[in-house]
Homo-oligomer: A and B are copies of this chain.
Amino acid sequence: MTQAASPAYRGIIPPIITPLKDRDTLDVAGLERLVEHMLGGGVHGIFALGTTGEAPSLSYRLRREMVERTCKLVAGRVPVLVGITDTSFVESVELARFSAEQGVKAVVLSAPYYFPVGQPELVEYVEDLVPELPLPVFLYNMPSHTKVTFELDTVRRAMQLPGVVGLKDSSGNMVYYHQLVRELAQRPDWSLLVGPEELLGESVLLGGHGGVCGGANLCPRLYVALYEAAVRNDVHRVMELHAQVMRISCTVYKVGRYGSAFIKSVKCALSVLGICDDFLAEPFHRFREQERERVGAFLTEFGITRDRAWPAAANLVS
């Protein structure tokens, strides 16, 4: 193993939603518009088949199609990462191999999410799986959905593995996050990315390398601008942009109920903007007309459009 001096992955690497025409049909034209929308906003990578991408709800055939088409559309302009989290070890390995063939740069791995595993079992799992994978691996801490946390001792063990290049933390627990920052003094080549976009500002100010912001499907420039302000320690600008992030979070993402509200509202907003279809794979369904109108009204109020450069100066009063 040759350790890199610094993290390979920095910046905004959004978890791209999976545009669907129906439960097993990709919205191919929508995907193309979405990729261009996000790259046009300056994102530093694309993460396909994450939670926001509804990966576990998709057929394996569709997951492969999504990987293949995303890689072709991105065409090397930024790195593509692919989520291979699965309850089945064999399916994780196969998806990683397929991804490598398509030009994916790294895979993202959370805990298997049906059986609740103990930490020693999780350590063994990572140690068994990483050597089978043909690509660098991001660990993905996502206890709200997988029921298991990558505890610090487990992360320390994973730091011994040459194939792991970073960790994405979606726990929302910033005490844990700061503990990770401390641990990463041991692996300066690891990237530490934060999941919840509401925590992007502080996480980058205090030692992180970027965020996997779902909202960057919609407003990629906002998160890129926030990341850049944090990197240059411009606290005043961080506060302005963070207030915009919170404004979206407290309005658009609250149109729905339950854990699905976030994905539904992002897909709905993209549909309102004419970027892609808002079909959701079961167990979810797109918003009905009433919710769609509320989402649309927020987009109008905030001046969020497909074409316009956003955030614009005029939007900075939250």
Contact residues of A with B, CB < 8 Å?
Answer: 23-24, 51, 56-60, 62, 87-91, 94, 111-118, 121-122, 124-125, 128-129, 144-147, 172-175, 178-179, 181-182, 196, 198-199, 201-202, 205-207, 233, 235-236, 238-239, 242-243, 246-247, 249-250, 257-260, 281-285
Q: Are A283 and B125 in contact (CB under 8 A)?
A: yes
Residues of B within 8 A of A51 (CB): 114-115
Residues of B within 8 A of A182 (CB): 243, 246-247, 250
Q: Are A242 and B282 in contact (CB under 8 A)?
A: no
Q: How many copies of this chain sit in the oligomeric assembly?
A: 4
Q: Are A114 and B178 in contact (CB under 8 A)?
A: no
* Assembled-state Cα–Cα distance A60/B86 (Å): 12
Residues of B within 8 A of A125 (CB): 282-283
Contact of A233 among B89, B115, B201, B235 (CB under 8 A): B235
Interface centre among A58, A87, A124, A129 (most CB of B within 10 A): A87
Residue of B nearest to A283 (CB): B125
19 A-B residue pairings within 8 Å (CB atoms):
A24-B90, A51-B115, A56-B88, A89-B282, A112-B282, A115-B259, A116-B144, A117-B260, A121-B258, A121-B260, A172-B173, A174-B198, A175-B199, A179-B246, A181-B246, A182-B243, A182-B247, A206-B239, A233-B236
Residues of B within 8 A of A144 (CB): 116
With A117-B260, A174-B172, A207-B239 known to touch, is A87 a contact of B202 (CB < 8 Å)? no
* Assembled-state Cα–Cα distance A87/B250 (Å): 28
Q: Are A91 and B175 in contact (CB under 8 A)?
A: no
Q: Are B174 and A145 in contact (CB under 8 A)?
A: no
Q: Are B260 and A115 in contact (CB under 8 A)?
A: yes
Q: Are A129 and B282 in contact (CB under 8 A)?
A: yes
Taking the closest CB of chain B, its distance from the CB of A14, in whole angstroms, is 18
Contact of A112 among B57, B199, B236, B258 (CB under 8 A): B57
Taking the closest CB of chain B, its distance from the CB of A56, in whole angstroms, is 4
Taking the closest CB of chain B, its distance from the CB of A206, in whole angstroms, is 6
* Assembled-state Cα–Cα distance A206/B249 (Å): 16
Residues of B within 8 A of A145 (CB): 114-116
Q: Are B250 and A179 in contact (CB under 8 A)?
A: yes
